[in-house]
Amino acid sequence: AQSVTQLGSHVSVSEGALVLLRCNYSSSVPPYLFWYVQYPNQGLQLLLKYTSAATLVKGINGFEAEFKKSETSFHLTKPSAHMSDAAEYFCAVSAMNRDDKIIFGKGTRLHILP
């Protein structure tokens, strides 16, 4: 079974500050890990994904995430927040080389303070 835990349903950072959104996963098999962003009343856009290649994954819009197996974590970071980054962020996990269901975390709403 797989699951994802996102720490903090709401995170607020000042514009220009570091963004850190936390995600821990549980998986009985090697995982694929994803971060998605959702703007109000819209679908999901893939930010980045980990698929067993490099542990540091770079995505769109300046985001990156690091897969740490020892900590079962896949935290999302961005060095400098922009107002346009305000959105809901979902961490997700699926089983590598097995089925392709994606299990989503509960989401973290990122607020950017001017």
| Residues within the interface to another protein (CB under 8 A) | 32, 36, 41-46, 49, 51, 90, 94, 96-97, 100-107, 109
Least Cβ distance, residue 100 to another protein (angstroms): 5
Shortest reach from residue 93's CB to another protein, in Å: 11
Q: Which of 9, 51, 53, 11 is nearest to 34 (CA)?
A: 51
Which of 3, 14 has the CB closer to another protein?
3
Pairwise CA distance, residues 23 & 8, whole Å: 9
CB 103 within 8 A of CB 23: no
The conformation of residue 100, written as its DSSP 8-state character, comes to -
| Closer residue to another protein, CB minimum distance, 45 or 80 | 45
Q: What is the DSSP string of 5-28?
A: EEE-SEEEEETTSPEEEEEEEEES
**C-beta of 59 vs 107, nearer to another protein:** 107
Minimal distance, residue 83 CB to another protein, in Å: 21
Compare residues 63 and 89 and give the one whose CB is closer to another protein.
89
